Amino acid sequence: MNWEKMLSERCREWEASGRDRSLCTLRQDGLYLYSGNKRYLNLSSNDYLGLSMLDYSELDLPAYYKREFGSHSFSPFPHGSPASRLMTGNCPEYDVLESELGALFPDKQALVLSCGYMANSGLLPALVQKGDMVLADRLVHASIVEGMRSLPFHRFRHNDLRHLQDLLRRTTHPERTWVVVESIYSMDGDYAPLHELAELRSTYGFRLYVDEAHSFGVCGPKGAGLCAQQGVLDAADLLVCTFGKALAGAGACVLCAPVVRQYLVNTLRPLIYSTALPPCTLQWVGMVVHEMRCRTFAPGVPNMAAQRNKLAALVQKASELTGQPAGSHIIPILIGSDKRAVEIAQTGRREGLWLTAIRPPTVPDGSARIRLSLHAELPPEYLNRAFQICNKAG
């Protein structure tokens, strides 16, 4: 069969089943998205603190860097980077950002990469040695699954520590085992049992890898994440934090012991063989992390702690509306049918709310859903509208 014809038939199958994906050009303007001339309230953004909607977005970053970090802390040409970090792309903004992250996590060192997918897909292949084993929660992100493909691994049932313990008991060398979890799971919005994992680690001696993508900036003292909030930072051998969600930027970092960082500089292929981030991206993220640690703006600009508090109040409002215990800022509304989830998302858009249907393979078969992403600047009254649309259409 002609390969293009085969691909065309596969695309038609996806369309018929409600699993077809397409790119939609959207322009963001504060609370809203524009598709063509139509405006939608954005309920699908990972900008959890609403930073893109505040005065931060208009900040003169070179002036800020000169004031806070010195005249040699920023690059004259901020828009691109013509090489990898190990060639000539390691600009001064990397030093500023990694220093700020180190101050936020005093017992760890930071290594910044270009995105979370690169970090998660590259870390385990770089670190796992012959004779090691990887045990990963069933719902870890696709980027982590990508990194495990060439390694010996097992998946344990989601948040099922009894199953994990059974696997650890059967492992020949538990101290050479990596246990991989997300602190807040991206599609279900629930939390990993970090205290219990820390206790298991003290018993079995495994290495704990925590992806903090959806908690960094939102949870914990100064936004340092859920491990920091629950007092188990010492138990995490690797923390992955991304900048494209609560920090409204781009890029990611791994936080680890100094010797692990040095080892990764020599072995982490996504770092070694990828073009460095442009200085302008690093300037934004460095500013945000600095403001997480110590507010420097004038009194009229909301600080990061205030934004976290607003988001927490919104989560509580969602709990009151649904009658469910307060969870995280990610609220999945389970629909089941792929087609029905798409129809509900379209209903929301007709009413001016940008809802997104999440379907397999992102989630398991039969668990298609609408995923609401709350952010600190969202007017609470729109939550009720979104829930009504989903309940009525469902």
Q: Where are the domains of the chain?
A: 18-54+303-393, 61-293
Helix then strand count (H, E) for the chain reads 14, 14
- Mean pLDDT of the 340-349 span: 91
Q: Give pLDDT, residue 81.
A: 87
pLDDT in tens, 18-36: 888 888 899 988 889 999 8
Closest CA to 245 of 278, 219, 227, 273: 219
The pLDDT confidence band at residue 148, using thresholds 50, 70 and 90, is very high
The pLDDT confidence band at residue 388, using thresholds 50, 70 and 90, is confident
Q: What is the DSSP letter of 303?
A: P
Closest CA to 128 of 268, 255, 232, 257: 268
Buried b (16+ CB within 10 A) or exposed e, 2-15: eeeeeeeeeeeeee
pLDDT in tens, 257-266: 999 999 999 9
Six-digit token string for 176 = 């050479």
Residue 320, pLDDT > 90, answer no
Residue 272, pLDDT > 90, answer yes
Q: Give pLDDT, residue 319.
A: 87
Check: CB of residue 93 under 8 Å from CB of residue 278: no
Q: Which strand (E) or helix (H) includes residue 230?
A: none
Q: Give pLDDT, residue 16.
A: 87
Q: Give pLDDT, residue 71.
A: 87
Q: What type of residue sits at position 350?
A: R
Residue 232, CA distances (Å) to 41, 55, 208, 210 in order: 37, 34, 11, 11
Six-digit token string for 8 = 């065309």
Task: Tell me how far apart the alpha carbons of residues 194 and 230 are, in angstroms, rounded to a whole number.
Answer: 7
- Mean pLDDT of the 145-167 span: 96
- Mean pLDDT of the 122-134 span: 96
- Mean pLDDT of the 278-303 span: 86
Residue 268, pLDDT > 80, answer yes
For the purposes of burial, counting CB atoms within 10 Å of the CB of 348, is it exposed (0-12), middle (13-18) or buried (19 or more)?
A: buried
Q: Give pLDDT, residue 259.
A: 97
Residue 244, pLDDT > 90, answer yes
Task: Tell me how far apart the alpha carbons of residues 353 and 379 are, in angstroms, rounded to a whole number.
Answer: 12
Check: CB of residue 185 under 8 Å from CB of residue 139: yes
Check: CB of residue 266 under 8 Å from CB of residue 307: no
Q: What type of residue sits at position 317?
A: K
Q: Which strand (E) or helix (H) includes residue 252?
A: strand 252-256
Domain covering 61-293 assigned CATH 3.40.225.10 in the classification:
no
Say whether the peptide bond before residue 379 is cis (omega within 30 degrees of 0). Answer: no
Mind telling me the catalytic residues? 46, 141, 182, 186, 211, 214, 245
14-21: Cβ within 8 A, 24+ apart: 17/338, 17/339, 18/337, 18/338, 18/339, 18/340, 18/341, 18/342, 18/359, 18/368, 19/338, 19/359, 19/360
pLDDT in tens, 160-214: 999 999 999 999 899 999 999 999 999 999 999 999 999 999 999 999 999 999 9
Residue 269, pLDDT > 60, answer yes
pLDDT in tens, 45-56: 899 999 988 877
Residue 57, pLDDT > 80, answer no
Task: Tell me how far apart the alpha carbons of residues 328 and 102 are, in angstroms, rounded to a whole number.
Answer: 26
Residue 323, pLDDT > 90, answer no
- Mean of all residue pLDDT scores within the chain: 92
- Mean pLDDT of the 336-360 span: 90
Q: What type of residue sits at position 94?
A: Y
Q: Give pLDDT, residue 192.
A: 97
Q: How far is CA 281 from the centre of its chain?
A: 17
Residue 156, pLDDT > 70, answer yes
Q: Give pLDDT, residue 393.
A: 53
Judged by average pLDDT, the poorest of 76-90, 93-107, 184-198, 318-332 is 318-332
What does CATH list as the number for 18-54+303-393? 3.90.1150.10
Q: What is the DSSP letter of 233?
A: G
Residue 392, pLDDT > 70, answer no
